[in-house]
Amino acid sequence: MKLCLFDNHRIGVITGTGVVDATPAFAHIPKASWPYPPADWLIQNFEAARERIEQIAATGAPTPLEQVQLLSPVANPGKIIGAPINYKDHIDEANADTEINHGKTYTELDKFGLFLKANSSLIGCSQEIQIPFADRRTDHEVELAVIIGRTAKRVSRAVALDYVLGYCIGLDMTVRGPEFPTFRKSADTFCVLGPWMVTRDEISDPNNLELSIRVNGEVKQSSNTKYLIFDVQRLIEYASAIYTLHPGDVIMTGTPAGVGPVAAGDVLNASVQGIGTMSVRVAR
């Protein structure tokens, strides 16, 4: 199933011809109340509504995609977790580029750990990326994003995928500089998720997916998740050893080589095998 949020936070299912509004499938689910749980309400209650969602998707009238605005498929993630150096070719390019490394030497992911992106950085592909500092380089980084479906703590690699609800495309936008990644990667609009979430059952192996990004039609990054240093299961194991993962938490799995600057007006087309392609523009 391909699940999306669109327009005024309507809940939709992507079909062959458009988006079917499945919001009524959640009508019987109690709304969250104070104190609000540290989880995304839709993701937390997806399984309870799934049968009804499937019924609506099979019978509902679709709206063409070009007539809706796609939001992030996760509205309220408790955490957005990043893996900073998780492809060897990106480690090599980072160590060769002083604008990226600023005097650091990158070695292995577990020597540098993970980082958090601010929730306020989140947008969907119908919104525009904003460049915060006109005098500094802002780079694109295409990634597979993993959406956690149920609470996980100290999960073993062997069962890690049982805690995944689905996957989407992620752009981990980054302004270059000497500051910690959490600051440089948390500007407003710097986490683009979309165009929809593909549920886990449709992706047989998240560690063997082609991914790429084109900027104004030119291929800038092209790789495969089989080259991840920490694969999806290992990342969940590693992250859940220190964080309690809640439904709706997002793990950005890292970016391959080819990162590069974007400029006002650029159009970014990011693709991940089994998910699709999302297009997002950099604001002028």
Note the pTM of the prediction, 2 decimals: 0.97
SS3 track for 126-163: CCEECCCCCCCCEEECEEEEEEECCCECCCCHHHHHHH
Residue 70 is classified by DSSP as B
**β-strand 210-215 against 250-252: which pairing, if any?**
unpaired
Residue 16 token pair: 């062959």
Task: State pLDDT tens for residues 55-80.
Answer: 999 999 999 999 999 999 999 999 99
User: What is the SS3 assignment for 59?
Assistant: helix
Query: Beta partners for 119?
Result: none
- Digit-by-digit pLDDT tens for the chain (284 residues) are 999 999 999 999 999 889 999 999 999 999 889 999 899 999 999 999 999 999 999 999 999 999 999 999 999 999 999 999 999 999 999 999 999 999 999 998 999 999 999 999 999 999 999 999 999 999 999 999 999 999 999 999 999 999 999 999 999 999 999 999 999 999 999 999 999 999 999 999 999 999 999 999 999 999 999 999 999 999 999 999 999 999 999 999 999 999 999 999 999 999 999 999 999 999 99
Chain-centre distance for alpha carbon 184: 17
Contacting residues for 203 by C-beta, under 8 A, at least 6 apart: 166, 167, 209, 274, 275
**β-strand 122-123 against 191-199: which pairing, if any?**
parallel
